Amino acid sequence: MARILVVDDEKSIRNSLKDVLEYEGHSIDEAEDGMTGLALARKNEYDLVLCDVKMPKLDGLEFLEMAFETNPDLNVIMISGHGTIETAVEAIKKGAYDYLAKPLDLNRLLVIVRNGLEKEELVKETRTLRKKVQSFNGGSIIGESKEIKSVHEMIGKVAPTAARVMITGPNGSGKELVAREIHDQSKRKKLPFVEVNCAAIPSELIESELFGHEKGAFTSAVKMKKGKFEQAQNGTLFLDEIGDMSLSAQAKVLRALQEHKISRVGSEKDIKVDVRVLAATNKDLQKEIEKGNFREDLYHRLSVILIKVPSLNDRKQDIALLSNHFMNLICGEMGLAPKKISDKAIKELEQINWTGNIRELRNIIERLIILCDEKIEANDILMYSNPK
């Protein structure tokens, strides 16, 4: 059963919609004007809103804009009279899902409502998946060591600025969490955060991935595609493992940073972009510059601020906190009660050479949860952690 808000100044329309939708099993709230509807939309969570275009006090377009300020994911279907179809189309351009024309057609109404609710379900699933991804990555940065406190301090200073940041550190140390934290504490936090793993994309495709391409630009370009720079417009673009980026792509990234414009592959048209770029690498870029694998001018453009993420071996006093954090996180995902980790078991964890860093620790905690009894002891660490 969905919760639906009907906003229309015509009582007969409200009654008709209420009767039909309640018959379909939905819960209906009504509002006789835009202001009343806006108050309800801000107060309650609705799966769908049906809103008239022409209303007293606040018309449909104004309702849409003001409702989106507090809930940009609100699912709105506009109701238009014969002379307001163009206005309804304008509302769709501004974010409404669809529109219904008066007099209402019952079949079209039910189809649009069903499609709108399916879209809302997909939006909810996306939100859930994002939360799961964030949980998988470990959530926020956990630790009380002086090394991790120094990272927190740097994030606090640089996040509110527009400065570009180069994040360095070994694989699995949490560089992506630092980038996410910078974005979440910045003025762009409500805008897109787009991540690109430069090492995972073949060199011949990286330019298309970053800058997009026009239809027909190459054999498999069957339609126009926006690149990551355009997708991150007004937000943050995180270039992970930038040390693996091809030299030709580096040249284009440099131009984008210098001129704030890009061009899609297969096009000569410039597109203005406003993107804050964060980069990360596990490589020594100074050595890569000496080898001719990385552009020195791009390095200086990207590394206005340098943040070094410590390895787990350099912050072993955080292992107890991290272990308990992952214990609660993983057991929550599995629907299990968290298991206790003895002090001696923590001491054994602190003796391990953590070549895989935080990622390796998370994997071992998950293994211990699955294979051990209610309390994890030192012998369990020796048996299941495969220490080197």
Sequence-ordered alpha helix ranges (H) in the chain = 11-23, 34-43, 60-70, 85-93, 106-136, 146-158, 175-184, 206-211, 228-231, 247-259, 285-291, 296-302, 319-334, 343-350, 357-371, 378-384
Tens digit of pLDDT for each residue in 60-96? Answer: 889 998 998 888 888 999 998 766 678 777 888 888 8
Reference 209, options 245, 161, 158, 173; nearest CA is: 245
Structural domains present in the chain? 3-133 (3.40.50.2300), 140-310 (3.40.50.300), 313-384 (1.10.8.60)
**Is the per-residue pLDDT at 136 higher than 80?**
no
Query: Once rounded to an integer, what is the mean pLDDT over residues 22-27?
Result: 93
Predicted local confidence at residue 82, as pLDDT: 65
pLDDT in tens, 341-377: 999 999 999 999 999 999 999 999 999 999 998 899 9
How many other β-carbons are positioned within 10 Å of the β-carbon of residue 46?
20
pTM of the model: 0.65
Q: Flag the least confident range among 74-78, 299-303, 314-318.
A: 74-78
pLDDT at residue 131, as a whole number: 52
CA 367 vs CA 57, 187, 330, 350: distances in Å? 61, 39, 10, 17
Quick check: 43 pLDDT over 70? yes
pLDDT at 135 over 60: no
Query: Per residue, what are the HEC states of 149-172?
Result: HHHHHHHHHHCCCCCCEEEECCCC
Is the pLDDT higher at 4 or at 219?
Answer: 4
The average pLDDT across 310-325 equals: 96
CA distance 303 to 199: 19
Does the pLDDT at position 253 exceed 90? yes
Residue 274 has pLDDT above 60, yes or no: yes
Over residues 172-189, the pLDDT tens digits come to 999 999 999 999 999 999
The per-residue DSSP string of 114-137 comes to HHHHHHHHHHHHHHHHHHHHHHHT
Residue 322 has pLDDT above 60, yes or no: yes
The residues pairing with 4 across neighbouring beta strands, listed in sequence order, are 28, 48
Average pLDDT, stretch 224-238? 94
| pLDDT exceeds 60 at position 387 | no
pLDDT for the residue 130? 56
pLDDT tier at 195, thresholds 50, 70, 90: very high
Q: Predicted confidence band at 126 (pLDDT cuts at 50, 70, 90)?
A: low
Distance between CA atoms of 79 and 113, rounded to whole angstroms?
Answer: 12
What is the identity of the amino acid at 370? I
Confidence of residue 31 (pLDDT cuts 50, 70, 90): very high
Give me the DSSP letters along 276-306: EEEEEESS-HHHHHHHTSS-HHHHHHH-SEE
Query: How many Å apart are CA 132 and CA 83, to the nearest integer?
Result: 46
Half-sphere exposure of 262 (CA within 13 A, CB side): 29
Task: Output the CA torsion sign for 169, 174, 176, 179.
Answer: negative
Give the residue among 93, 96, 88 at the shortest CA–CA distance from 67.
96
The per-residue b/e assignment along 273-285, b for 16 or more CB within 10 angstroms, e otherwise, is: bebbbbbbbbeeb
Rounded CA-CA distance 74/76 in Å is 6
Which pLDDT value is given to residue 217? 82
pLDDT at 219 over 80: no
pLDDT averaged over every residue in the chain: 90
